[in-house]
Structure 1
Amino acid sequence: MKKIMRSLGLMLALLTLTVVVSACGSKPLSQRNVLKTDQQSKTITWGVKADTRLFGLLDTKDGQIKGFEIDLAKAITKQMLGKDAKAKFIQVTSSTRMPMLKNGNIDAIIATMTNTPERRKQVAFSNTYFYAGQSLLVKKGSSIKNVKDLNRQKGTVLGVVGSDSVENVAKVAPNAKVLQLTDYAQAMTALKSGQGQALTTDNGILYGMSVQNPDYVVTGGTFVSEPYGIAVDKAQTPFRQAVNQSLKELRANGQYQKILHKWFHNVKGFDYEEAARE
């Protein structure tokens, strides 16, 4: 009986220790120092898109996500933590990126995320790394040339859940109907099948879609400014400051411009000066 009691006591002690250790390792994100942790591990975990051509797209041939934001994240990681540092990528969507950051699954979001007053209530943003503007993608020959046509014709515009593009178009084209899809791949499929007359989001994303689908063109100029920033937890000020310093250094040493040119030099009508604005 004594042996049984001793065994039970040992098991209880081990269980208590496990609970304590687990509790210590699961501090809320607001109580962690992400910069110090990343400096020790020489790794930054980024939330990135994998369905957005030119910015972050999964290459089915080798299973790697590739794009402007991927290369920029790699460059920032090495600039912050050293040449031997590594960037780890976790796929996010417009609707999952904020919860994943809040839960501590990722250290930062670099995923075509516009810096808006509403989002700044929840997260902190780095300086702008890509200056985009909201526009429309339509089939060649479409009668819709701009957002005013969309409003006048009371057409259906396609968007993506979690993106602020749908809210923006509702303000400037209140007569238009809105259909939201899960991601850009579904939205493009819906546009091709005639479920909508136009697809709306940032022009940088639309340029990528038009490159892949030559029968579709970006039209109407931009009707809302969309400055992209890297989102981090509000409590992680040292991390955000380090990101900003790295961005500044990458712009100064020319790496930023090289990455931008690599991904957008073949895009018809792309404005480098506008995109590189801070």
Structure 2
Amino acid sequence: MDTHTNAVRRRHPVRRATRTTAALALLAAGALVLGAGGPQGAPSAPAAAPVLAQQDRQEQSGQSEQAGPCDLYKSVPPSGEDGPAVKAIKAKRSLVIGIDLNSYRWGARNPNNGQLEGFDIDLARAVGTAIMGDPDKVILKSVPTADRIKFIQEGRVDLIVRTMTISCERMEQVAFSRPYFTMSQRVIVPRSSSAKNLDEALNGTTACAAAGSSALEELKTRPLKKLVTPENNLDCLVLMQLGQVEATMTDDVLAASQAAQDQTVRVVDGEVRPGVMGIAMLKTSTDLTARVNQVLNDYYTSGAWRGTYDRWLKPYLLNDADHYWPTPR
């Protein structure tokens, strides 16, 4: 049932392993009407605008330095104008954004107060409020990893802001904004595991990855004993706690958050499949994509992107914010 919430203004401490199961039980899926505005965390000094200007020129020309069979950075030019897709959303007086409720520090429900919080939650709120002009007209709706594209194509959500990796295959199914975060795939194992690197963790073991994830595609190429594919990344962590899987592959940023959430697991050396995350929507909603790209530009140049990175992710990642802001190479 949809309820109004206020923005969370404080962090909560890392749960110890003995309390993990109770905390996980509170990360229930559900729709939530946004009741507070804007991204959280005080923004730092504005970042350099020329980087964004360079990306805009590349997007408009359809060119990028990104290697591969498709241009993962390609999107429509940013615009502040409301086209037919945006006007239709405003006419129904609600913008529905698909989010994650199972990824600590990205999108999760705080077990202490029931509030939604994380990097993607702040971003979803910022995008929704900028487009609708009223935070009360933004609905945050839990979407399983495996159903992200389905929810967009069926019109059950207008946008997906949920650590969604841009890929050539997905670009054929949905439209993406310009990238907003860089990432790669890493592996988590129990601290008791003898595995020192990614290959040792996966060779002949029972491994887990969420259905529909980029990690799953990578694991299909590995010499595993068994592959387990639940709906969400957090399910893999629970299965590892229960001793049913020996390794989990997921985005490096989610791997770091899971290791912070549960101190009985660790991230091993090695990474594969470098990529970028974007906001997904219908391919036919070109003007909505342009509006989202404009919001992303403003979110970055204002310092809000860096502010929410510093709040939610910096304590658990090794690099400063600039390392994770995508620029074509």
TM range (shorter): 0.7 to 0.9
Count of aligned positions: 245
Give the alignment partner of residue 168 of structure 1, picking from 218, 223, 231: 218
Report the equivalent of 2:269. Answer: 220
CA contact (8 A) 2:97 2:124 kept: yes
Tell me which protein shows more helix as a share of its residues: 1
Q: Secondary structure of 1:160's match? A: coil
CA contact (8 A) 1:131 1:277 kept: yes
Is 1:76–2:121 an aligned residue pair? Answer: no
Identity, in percent, stands at 26
The CA RMSD over aligned residues, in Å, is: 2.1
CA contact (8 A) 1:42 1:84 kept: no
Report the equivalent of 2:110. Answer: 59
Report the equivalent of 1:21. Answer: none
CA contact (8 A) 1:264 1:270 kept: no
5+ residue gaps, structure 2:
1-82
Distance 1:121 1:250, change over 3 A: same
Is 1:92–2:147 an aligned residue pair? Answer: no
Question: Which TM-score applies when normalising by structure 1?
Answer: 0.81
Query: For 1:139 and 1:261, how far apart are their aligned partners in 2?
Result: 27
5+ residue gaps, structure 1:
1-31
Query: For 2:93 and 2:188, how far apart are their aligned partners in 1?
Result: 41
Query: For 1:109 and 1:115, how far apart are their aligned partners in 2?
Result: 12
Give the alignment partner of residue 145 of structure 1, picking from 185, 196, 217: 196
CA contact (8 A) 2:198 2:271 kept: no
In the alignment, residue 263 of structure 2 is paired with which amino acid?
P
1:227-266 correspondence to structure 2 within 5 Å = 227-266=276-315
Report the equivalent of 2:174. Answer: 123
Query: For 2:282 and 2:112, how far apart are their aligned partners in 1?
Result: 34
**Greater Rg, structure 1 or structure 2?**
1
Query: For 1:41 and 1:257, how far apart are their aligned partners in 2?
Result: 33
Tell me which protein shows more strand as a share of its residues: 1
Residue-by-residue CA offset, 1:1-56 (whole Å, 9 max, x unaligned)? xxxxxxxxxxxxxxxxxxxxxxxxxxxxxxx9431123446642100011111111
In the alignment, residue 235 of structure 1 is paired with which amino acid?
T
How big is the shift at 1:107?
0.5
Distance 1:119 1:146, change over 3 A: same
In the alignment, residue 163 of structure 1 is paired with which amino acid?
S
CA contact (8 A) 1:48 1:111 kept: yes
Report the equivalent of 1:110. Answer: 161
In the alignment, residue 218 of structure 2 is paired with which amino acid?
N
Distance 1:254 1:120, change over 3 A: same
CA contact (8 A) 2:198 2:270 kept: no
